[in-house]
Amino acid sequence: MAAKVGSKIVYGGLMVLLVVGLGGFGATNFGANVGNVASVGDTDIDTTQYGNALQQELQALQAQTGQEFTIAQAEQFGVTGAVLDRLIDAAAVREAARRLGLSAGDEQVRQDVVNTAAFQGLDGTFDPEGYRAALSRAGIKTSAYEDEVREGIAANLIQGAVTSGVIMPQVFTTTVIDWLSETRTGEMVVLSAADLSAPIGSPDADALQAVYEADPAAYTLPETRKITYAWLTPDMLVDSVDLNEDALRKVYDDNISQYNQPERRLIERLVFGSGDEAQAAADRIASGEVTFEEVVSERGLALSDTDLGDVAQSDLGAAGDSVFAAANGDTLGPIDSNLGPALFRVNGILAATTTSFDEARPEIAADIALDTARRQILGDMDRVNDELAAGATLEELADDTDMELGQIDWTPASDTGIASYADFQSAARSAQVGDFPEVIQLSDGGMFALRLDEITPPALQPLDDVRAQVESAWETRETLNALSAQAKALADQVSETTDLASLAETASLTLRPLEALGRQGFVDAAPEGVVDALFDPALAVGTATTVAGEETVAVIALTQVRAPEDTPETQTLSDTLSDTLSQSLGQDLLDAFTTDLRDQYGVKINQAAVNAVHNAL
């Protein structure tokens, strides 16, 4: 059975969500002639129910992801099965209510309908016309909807009987909180190669052979693809592009504001409701009674609310002359602004900048040359493809065009030159010997075509060729083994009467304190797994353990275990966890209950009807 999607909405509320959620879709013919989608006992799930529920789920997924979800994707990710599963659960409980003779009276149904916010007008009262229109858009008859509401009310009575009053035992919550919030304190020594008590020596031939044979993958060359390619990028063409001086000048003139910036200032503006308020604030600032920041805070604003950023004189309207005449750091005003009387503060002065055409020309020329080269390559792609289709080789292309010929022994690790392009990587990976070359565009506007000449399968390199690598691996292994032995000897000496600190001092090792670490704590410059080792249930106070890394080994001694304190924060966490666990337990009970009902009453699924709904969508 597919996993359930989201929280289980089982009964009357499901129909409201379908009506409201599908209001913009309109009624859809989901294939009524193929029968019901599923049934539990004598309770049916028709194609409209399933189709509407599925559409609503797809709407929700689209809102969450910002991307349209197709039926094929919904099937792939188990959404369709989860929606049907949810409807079957609801049908099982409705069948139970029917067999128990539970029902709701007309008045109770009426109250449920008129109190549904989706069916109320702007004045907050029930809108009969809106009610009928909403049902019509969802393809649901009024009588069918009200029958569903009636059955939903009865089903909710059963759900309430199963889940009401379900509370996770406090001892469970307390145990989890204690586990999550417990902290541990300890001491640590990290041993590295420099701490070896004796040199590890040199490996003999047998030792190297053993290391070599133990890890053949480390000494195996990957599959290598010998590839011939012809390529052309804009950078290869820029030097040959003819530049028109008039065109360069036009680009400069069209973007003159970019090259000639007037003086700009970093300004803050605080607007007041009246000139008197603004003047009073200005007087208090001038007298030193308050600062500009304090006046901003008094008005319930953050300093960022007053920040105009860097502005030109023309951006400030009538206030521009006064603000641009002030010195850096000045507060001035009141001055009338487009929002009312305001105080202004100057926080910085950005001098005017002027870039001449001659100064801007290299940048403009480079941009135009690159753009021209890209357009030239784009225009040549069809012609090059035609030549390849006519039988031209890559070597002939290089002779007849601006494309350059190259060769590469490509592996997945290749990442320089043409191999730095993802487009080439993809083409190299999928190419087969004998394929005809085709032109492929590069991300920078270039193009290439390749030919796979030969594939060399992965090969284990001879020991003599990788001897240095094998020796390094042996040295690393032996060093780590020796360090692990030293660390264990040190850890074995730790006891209630002999702490790690004294042992480290005797051995001239650096001791690092581990202060009040939680289970999510982190210890830098240490092997991975130090925190997990500190919280190992087998590690008692006054004892030590070891953790090996790739090149170092840590000795960790536990000195204190501290239970969480009873604070408002931990009480809030406990209450929240208790509610969450209780809800989870109630949901588990409901799942078990509906599963039992399904087993009792029997579930039938009409796959033809399911497929018809999927096709209709």
In a domain, 173, yes or no: no
Assess whether 235 and 381 both reside in one domain. yes
- Check residue 467 and give its pLDDT: 97
Assess whether 150 and 25 both reside in one domain. yes
- Check residue 22 and give its pLDDT: 42
Choose the final residue of a domain: 318, 351, 384.
351
> Tell me: the pLDDT tens digits for 355-381?
888 888 888 888 888 889 999 999 999
> Tell me: the pLDDT tens digits for 479-534?
999 999 999 999 999 998 999 999 999 999 999 999 999 999 999 999 999 999 99
In a domain, 254, yes or no: no
Indicate the residue type of 391: G
Q: Are 377 and 445 in contact (CB under 8 A)?
A: yes
Nearest alpha carbon to residue 149 among 10, 7, 11, 40: 11
Q: What is the CATH number of the domain that holds 304?
A: 3.10.50.40
In a domain, 279, yes or no: yes
Q: What is the C-alpha to C-alpha distance for residues 76 and 56, in angstroms, rounded to an integer?
A: 18
Assess whether 378 and 345 both reside in one domain. no
- Check residue 135 and give its pLDDT: 86
Q: Are 598 and 40 in contact (CB under 8 A)?
A: yes
Nearest alpha carbon to residue 503 among 515, 516, 514, 488: 488
Assess whether 536 and 499 both reside in one domain. yes
Assess whether 85 and 115 both reside in one domain. yes
Q: What is the CATH number of the domain that holds 134?
A: 1.10.4030
Choose the final residue of a domain: 431, 457, 483.
457
In a domain, 90, yes or no: yes
In a domain, 7, yes or no: no
Q: Are 584 and 80 in contact (CB under 8 A)?
A: no
Assess whether 305 and 397 both reside in one domain. no
In a domain, 218, yes or no: no
- Check residue 5 and give its pLDDT: 36
Assess whether 378 and 236 both reside in one domain. yes
- Check residue 409 and give its pLDDT: 96
Rg (CA), the chain: 38
Assess whether 383 and 313 both reside in one domain. no
Q: What is the C-alpha to C-alpha distance for residues 19 and 22, in angstroms, rounded to an integer?
A: 6
Domain count, the chain: 4
Assess whether 151 and 187 both reside in one domain. no
Q: Burial, 137: exposed, middle or buried (Cβ in 10 Å; 0-12, 13-18, 19+)? A: middle
Q: Are 404 and 398 in contact (CB under 8 A)?
A: yes
- Check residue 130 and give its pLDDT: 87
Dihedral class, residue 441 (left if φ above 0, else alpha if ψ from -120 to 50, else beta): beta
Residues facing residue 405 across a β-bridge: 230
Assess whether 413 and 270 both reside in one domain. no
In a domain, 252, yes or no: no
- Check residue 309 and give its pLDDT: 87
Query: Which stretches in the chain have pLDDT values below 50?
Result: 1-14, 17-18, 20-27
Q: What is the CATH number of the domain that holds 388?
A: 3.10.50
Residue 435 sits in which domain range?
A: 224-241+373-457
Range list of β-strands (E), 142-263: 183-191, 220-221, 224-232, 260-261
In a domain, 257, yes or no: no
Choose the final residue of a domain: 457, 488, 516.
457
- Check residue 4 and give its pLDDT: 37
- Check residue 10 and give its pLDDT: 47
Assess whether 21 and 122 both reside in one domain. yes
| pTM for this predicted structure | 0.56
Assess whether 233 and 331 both reside in one domain. no
Nearest alpha carbon to residue 329 among 313, 310, 345, 308: 345
**Residue 262, SS3 per DSSP:** coil
